[in-house]
Structure 1
């Protein structure tokens, strides 16, 4: 059955008619039911009583044999019913005239050998900043000047960026924030969903604003406390808090993707007028939103489509890997035809270019012509949403079979939702969407899937809000889906009955057919039932969540923080559940955990942000659990050690359960245990080590984890461990309180072939000078974070030829005497982020240095400077 589904998925979509689609649905449901039958049998076997032992064998043996017999008969009946359905579905295939000859394989699905030969440039990441800003730099500069103009006018001004979907409104607003960061003391950017309701969604929006504006302390408990207080405030308290935080502060706030006048008016009254020349930027597709809200045409910017020259630049760079690259003569005419049909929309251009990136030789002209013919001509004269959807659908149709399921799975998440990378990948794995590959873990394979979807511009990378302490764990580890892409994925998912959505614009109705994956967004039908009586209450009782059969559900995700008590009380019905994601669901209580611990097929459990206080001891019965995320200060029982398949456990501020205690051992014994443990962790990818006394025990490790990618060391250590140099896969390294010699530190790190990010934290270096020498080339280093709070070093220097690929530099100025020398030697540097007090002379000197450096650089290689005061 899966082979037939794959055949249809990989067929030329022009050959797939409505009869094939109908038969595909029947086969898919049959495959689901076959898997459910096997899982249900396993659950029944698990509940079967153990064989009786003496002295009760004579009394209990007949009952045991009877239960076994009934179990086998039930299985036989289920299999017989499945075989009968299989025969019926097979006969329909013959009746419909469906066979392999009628479904030729799509020419876009290159054989494995061809895919393997695709160059790295052909599959460039879609978040390359040079790609994102093609054709909009002039618009950024123009709008930035308009925003900065009339600084003497202390009143609050609102600017609107208006344009259709896919034109780059959000990209323009983000780049404006980056350019203007030094001009504003506070900044924030929040997105507004299409279904935004000022009464129900305002609290969430205000909380997101405040969390971005507040400069939370980095000392754990205070951060947790501040977050908790924000989450517990109502709208009026949040509004007062925002006014308090922005009092006497010049702020820049971006409200992204506003869909209606009422939505904007509800938000506008919550943003304070503080007479500090503050600015608000609103992006919208709706012209009337700007017209109804703006008093001057100068405050409205209509974003322009790319002209033909910029369209070609963007297209050529995406297909051929270089802004200065050229298109083969045999493809130029077809390229011009494609670009005219794209109508200057960057999203459309990048989507089609990503599709053609594997076919960039002159011999691929037939493929290019096929794409050109597949694109409607309506985009050429007037870019429309329908034309944009057509291009996104085309990109989806040409995906490999395994990536189509991963893309449809993203319809689980709401519009503009930032998805943590690990959360997504472990969910894919738990759902069985990731196939095994020789020599790779499932997580590695899932990461390959994600990178390919990013390279095809189907998924966009994003950054979670990070603190200095979580830089290594979180930086860049997130993604999101463009709202137009999400719209298409929701449509595809609902057609395939892949994910069932409830709430917001999807209404509160149960979808047709069985529910396999249930995602509950805000404003669900339970809430409406409580607010509306009579006929509507009876209607929702028949058609809403309460009426759903939940026994076949494999995945449950809830994005509503309050309510849904009735649904949570039914958790015991989700017998076949594999994924349970209840992040920030405040309605979850300790009493519900007894149901959760009976979901024996569970592979993924996420409970961060909930109000549970303890995990029951029965958690150890979930033998298939692979990923467990729990909120802070949750009691964890000793039985958690029984979860032998667990690959990922995140429990912030873990309260050690009885039976798990910190043992005060002599240093020699502790060292022996640590070295022995590390030698056994062959598949370990991330390691965080902390000691208030010493980390010298690390010097005795003989067999380090060979696949380690992320390493954090926090604590004193006499010298840099030799074994770290053997970690060929190390990508991120962080050290704090180590008090190492500067040369020893950089000499050891500069040779790592895969090291992309380094963080040197507080008191990591004991020398007066930290010098990146000519010999310190760092072949892969992109990010250097120097949070060198403390007395040393006084001088940070970069010699010529050092850190040749460094792109982002973070510098902290707590010391008034600290100097930075040789920034002009960092030829690949694109961005510098400075933090410290505004009146710190060392920070001001660094700002002046960067200004002078930019004056000596061509416009195309200017350094972006971001300053965070406080």
Structure 2
């Protein structure tokens, strides 16, 4: 049986209070920092009350220092909890007051005539009233702060809190050390990782080797390393296993290493071990390990400084010594392997291993009753292969009655179970260690992920834009705020708090998600701190003063009776729903403080008129709605930074959009999704004269340039652009467009399309292309391949469609040093493509599509050494498999779409003369196009190619043209 670590009821409640206090302090610290920053940013607008602003700013800074001091002292208890809640409330009140003031102050007089004069007087009076209200509010806040401080003095916390705090810390560390050290027969899915790690330890060079084992909390790093350590300990002369933890004491760690390494015979140099200085300990340890073969495990390293200090005491004496490290931080792991080592990342359990572990933890006979299996598998799925979570939940269920009601309760209320059940607290607090270790500025960013539904794949740029709109991202001189936010995201990933769900071809992040167990924890924490509320069903508990609301279901939701005057963000994830009040009835009185509004996927057909009154709005997404136009009054949203109208029916923007000088991301386009992408697969918007005035734009997509060359020249003013998309270009537009592109020195992605498939795309006059360009998409005929393309040292993706080049483009492209993805769609009129030796050294994905004159493809030895996927489509004259394809040893996927019957017959197993050339490729796919046939079922073994053929060992399908899947690559 597993060696469970038990805690008492007292310890549980104490720990819970401590965590609540810590979370509250961190949340308040963030809010205070945000408020101070807002005051500094907006002070110029406050007129006569600026001196009062300075006063409250000082109070806020003092409050923040007081909170941090209390946190450092380890104060806890019910009194501290109440006190922190009071501080939180007064801080939120302060933020509300400032935002309300900004809301009123930005309503500037703008009417004319007699009636306008009256309206202007009304606005003036409102602004004057706002200043008076702010003045009174400052006094009221200072009074509340004094009252809170006085109450703290009248009711001080217990003097033994520090002792309790020390006890709590030890409980966490003790559980972390003991969690998962089960019996050998009780471990699941560990054999292969153990074998791999043992190989890393015992094989390789004689020099010292460092092997960091990195992964999220609960994935089983310590358990795995312990089992490896036990297996190999007899192969080393000296052994030590030391837990480092966050609050490491270097002298204490060194002493423990020495005691364990020399427990049988302590060298004379360590006779005064307890009194030796840190430097002396390191020097003597280094000397004592000369000519020794040692194995040392440093478990749970959180700070790279700990490793930097320890490594200087461990000599490399060529005796095959090994050092193993466990950490949750990928950056620490990578730093540890210098100069020699290898990072190992244990994977979460596969589905069947996870199920087996659950059975062992839950049922005495390792067998699940049939009536509980569906729910049990649902519970296991929530754990996403995390051994710690599976073991904890299995242990909880093992104490429950084996009936459907109990299982359903656990499945539906896992978040509440984490909060209320002592057995699950152990797992939760191991995971919370990662959260508590985050710096202040990352904690709200991580909590923010609670707004997204379970298993939701979060687009990288969507998350970055939201963080910026919320004010979570600090400005750093010399960097775009988007770049700073990207660093935040990567740090959370490196700390294994966020999981990568999709990557681009170059390995960069495309989308991410949160492990379900972590999501349960941060959702509950967000609700407790009134940071965010997620509405999932009619029984969802909602605070009175909601600050962020994410709606995942409309069933039972009643918002009319809720106060939404404090709401900062509103999200909807109930796609396809036609929303009613208050979501579509935006009144300034209820939602005037809103900064983020995301209604993506709802069935809105008309732009809700009330949105234009949300003066503080920074982020507006109406993506995937049915909206066709925007009102002229959109100009009132002067703080708007992101306007996302992707996949809407908007094709023209009002000229008033040019007043939104803070716009950074303008996304107005849609794709016409068909089985076979036509030339005009993208629809953009007609841009307005004056677009060059939106100088803050980072992304502009997609501009419809038809018959207006002057606008293309004006784009040259947008020097901060990172991504630009343009369609409907005439040949005569080329010079003006090239002139503008040359000024966009920060451009990363360029997508250009000519007016028609026979209208020349002229980009030859571009003399100096943006140096950082990574992605280039060109649609339209080219007289020749522009020479500047071969100079793009950072180009990763290149797509040439309808280029119809007479000359072989491979000669110019083969030397591009970073090219990983190449698509040729009606791009070449020649009969042969030859990929020469040592060409396209990093290319991973190659798509050859509709080259109507192509008769031969040839790969020379040494060409495309990294190619992983090859897709060939509708090349009717290509009658045989590419020559030299057997030389492409790294190819994992080979796709053929709409090729001739004779071509495919040559590759059939058993009887095809060219089958031997592709038998090393694990995944070979065919799709036939037959207008009269439906999609044929595919099972991967015996598949009907047509009524007269039967094949074994390949994937075949017959498809109607209307339902054909075109391939996995982005440029297929």
TM-score bucket (shorter structure): 0.5 to 0.7
Provide the C-alpha distance between the structure 1 equivalents of 2:772 and 2:158, rounded to a whole number of angstroms: 47
Q: 1:808 to 1:331 in 2, by over 3 A?
A: closer
Contact 2:795 2:816 in 1 (8 A): no
2:832 corresponds to: 769
The alpha-carbon deviation at position 22 of structure 1 amounts to: 5.0
Equivalent in 515, 520, 523 of residue 551 of structure 2: 520
Q: Does 1:71 align with 2:130?
A: yes
Contact 1:710 1:731 in 2 (8 A): yes
RMSD: 5.2
Q: Does 1:642 align with 2:659?
A: yes
Provide the C-alpha distance between the structure 2 equivalents of 1:706 and 1:25, rounded to a whole number of angstroms: 52
1:575 corresponds to: 592
Normalising by structure 2, report the TM-score.
0.55
2:223 corresponds to: 339
Q: 1:746 to 1:102 in 2, by over 3 A?
A: farther
1:507 corresponds to: 539
Contact 2:586 2:608 in 1 (8 A): no
Q: Does 1:363 align with 2:310?
A: yes
The alpha-carbon deviation at position 618 of structure 1 amounts to: 1.5
- SS of 1:565's equivalent in the other structure is coil
**For residues 145-200 of structure 1, what are the alpha-carbon distances to aligned partners after superposition, in whole Å with 9 as ceiling and x for unaligned?**
xxxxxxxxxxxxxxxxxxxxxxxxxxxxxxxxxxxxxxxxxxxxxxxxxxxxxxxx
Contact 1:318 1:353 in 2 (8 A): no
Q: 1:623 to 1:722 in 2, by over 3 A?
A: farther
1:586-601 alignment runs, 5 A limit: 586=603, 588-590=604-606, 593-601=608-616
The alpha-carbon deviation at position 677 of structure 1 amounts to: 2.2
Q: 1:456 to 1:833 in 2, by over 3 A?
A: farther
Provide the C-alpha distance between the structure 2 equivalents of 1:750 and 1:91, rounded to a whole number of angstroms: 73
The alpha-carbon deviation at position 597 of structure 1 amounts to: 1.8
- SS of 1:567's equivalent in the other structure is coil
Of 414-423 and 575-584, deviating more is: 414-423
Equivalent in 559, 563, 566 of residue 545 of structure 1: 559
Provide the C-alpha distance between the structure 2 equivalents of 1:415 and 1:377, rounded to a whole number of angstroms: 16
**For residues 549-579 of structure 1, what are the alpha-carbon distances to aligned partners after superposition, in whole Å with 9 as ceiling and x for unaligned?**
1122111001223254122244222111111
Provide the C-alpha distance between the structure 2 equivalents of 1:719 and 1:103, rounded to a whole number of angstroms: 77
Provide the C-alpha distance between the structure 2 equivalents of 1:103 and 1:710, rounded to a whole number of angstroms: 58
Provide the C-alpha distance between the structure 1 equivalents of 2:145 and 2:164, rounded to a whole number of angstroms: 24
1:243-258 alignment runs, 5 A limit: none
Provide the C-alpha distance between the structure 1 equivalents of 2:869 and 2:68, rounded to a whole number of angstroms: 42
1:184-203 alignment runs, 5 A limit: none
**For residues 395-454 of structure 1, what are the alpha-carbon distances to aligned partners after superposition, in whole Å with 9 as ceiling and x for unaligned?**
333333333322211111111222233222211221122223344322223233333333
1:743-822 alignment runs, 5 A limit: 743-745=808-810, 747-748=812-813, 750-753=815-818, 755-760=819-824, 762-779=825-842, 781-782=843-844, 784-815=845-876, 817-818=878-879, 819-822=881-884
1:375-774 alignment runs, 5 A limit: 379=391, 386=424, 388-463=427-502, 477-504=510-537, 507-511=539-543, 513-526=544-557, 544-560=558-574, 561-572=576-587, 573-586=590-603, 588-590=604-606, 593-630=608-645, 631-634=647-650, 635-651=652-668, 652=670, 653-654=683-684, 656=686, 662-663=706-707, 670-691=733-754, 692=756, 693-694=758-759, 696-740=761-805, 743-745=808-810, 747-748=812-813, 750-753=815-818, 755-760=819-824, 762-774=825-837
Normalising by structure 1, report the TM-score.
0.61
**For residues 258-305 of structure 1, what are the alpha-carbon distances to aligned partners after superposition, in whole Å with 9 as ceiling and x for unaligned?**
xxxxxxxxxxxxxxxxxxxxxxxxxxxxxxxxxxxxxxxxxxxxx996
Structure 2: 5+ residue runs without aligned partners? 1-31, 34-60, 167-184, 229-297, 312-322, 330-386, 397-413, 415-423, 671-682, 690-703, 711-729, 928-956, 960-972
Contact 2:212 2:325 in 1 (8 A): no
Provide the C-alpha distance between the structure 1 equivalents of 2:123 and 2:328, rounded to a whole number of angstroms: 65
1:216 corresponds to: none
Provide the C-alpha distance between the structure 2 equivalents of 1:328 and 1:105, rounded to a whole number of angstroms: 34
**For residues 699-754 of structure 1, what are the alpha-carbon distances to aligned partners after superposition, in whole Å with 9 as ceiling and x for unaligned?**
1123433443322111111233233345444332222111236754453353234x
2:888 corresponds to: 826
The alpha-carbon deviation at position 684 of structure 1 amounts to: 3.2
**For residues 490-535 of structure 1, what are the alpha-carbon distances to aligned partners after superposition, in whole Å with 9 as ceiling and x for unaligned?**
122222221111133x734422x52111011124324xxxxxxxxx
Provide the C-alpha distance between the structure 2 equivalents of 1:7 and 1:800, rounded to a whole number of angstroms: 69
Provide the C-alpha distance between the structure 1 equivalents of 2:776 and 2:163, rounded to a whole number of angstroms: 50
The alpha-carbon deviation at position 356 of structure 1 amounts to: 6.2
Provide the C-alpha distance between the structure 2 equivalents of 1:319 and 1:41, rounded to a whole number of angstroms: 64
Contact 1:740 1:765 in 2 (8 A): yes
Contact 1:598 1:622 in 2 (8 A): yes
Alignment size in residue pairs: 623
1:34 corresponds to: 94
Q: Does 1:310 align with 2:192?
A: yes
Contact 2:873 2:898 in 1 (8 A): no
Q: 1:376 to 1:485 in 2, by over 3 A?
A: closer
- SS of 2:484's equivalent in the other structure is helix
Q: 1:502 to 1:714 in 2, by over 3 A?
A: same
The alpha-carbon deviation at position 774 of structure 1 amounts to: 2.0
Provide the C-alpha distance between the structure 1 equivalents of 2:106 and 2:595, rounded to a whole number of angstroms: 16
The alpha-carbon deviation at position 75 of structure 1 amounts to: 2.0
Provide the C-alpha distance between the structure 1 equivalents of 2:906 and 2:618, rounded to a whole number of angstroms: 53
Provide the C-alpha distance between the structure 2 equivalents of 1:309 and 1:11, rounded to a whole number of angstroms: 47
Structure 1: 5+ residue runs without aligned partners? 107-302, 345-351, 465-470, 527-543, 857-861
Q: 1:30 to 1:746 in 2, by over 3 A?
A: farther
1:288 corresponds to: none
- SS of 1:393's equivalent in the other structure is helix
The alpha-carbon deviation at position 319 of structure 1 amounts to: 13
Q: 1:343 to 1:839 in 2, by over 3 A?
A: farther
**For residues 186-225 of structure 1, what are the alpha-carbon distances to aligned partners after superposition, in whole Å with 9 as ceiling and x for unaligned?**
xxxxxxxxxxxxxxxxxxxxxxxxxxxxxxxxxxxxxxxx
Q: 1:304 to 1:622 in 2, by over 3 A?
A: farther
Provide the C-alpha distance between the structure 1 equivalents of 2:65 and 2:894, rounded to a whole number of angstroms: 48
Of 451-460 and 544-553, deviating more is: 451-460
2:674 corresponds to: none
Contact 1:633 1:654 in 2 (8 A): no
Contact 1:736 1:763 in 2 (8 A): yes
The alpha-carbon deviation at position 67 of structure 1 amounts to: 5.0
Contact 2:761 2:780 in 1 (8 A): no
Contact 2:873 2:899 in 1 (8 A): no
**For residues 208-248 of structure 1, what are the alpha-carbon distances to aligned partners after superposition, in whole Å with 9 as ceiling and x for unaligned?**
xxxxxxxxxxxxxxxxxxxxxxxxxxxxxxxxxxxxxxxxx
Could you say which structure has the larger radius of gyration?
2
Contact 2:814 2:840 in 1 (8 A): no
- SS of 2:527's equivalent in the other structure is helix
The alpha-carbon deviation at position 759 of structure 1 amounts to: 2.5
Q: 1:843 to 1:432 in 2, by over 3 A?
A: farther
Contact 1:699 1:722 in 2 (8 A): yes
The higher relative CO (CA closer than 8 Å, separation ≥ 6) is in: 1
1:185 corresponds to: none
1:236 corresponds to: none
Contact 2:460 2:510 in 1 (8 A): yes
Contact 2:798 2:822 in 1 (8 A): yes
Provide the C-alpha distance between the structure 1 equivalents of 2:497 and 2:505, rounded to a whole number of angstroms: 26
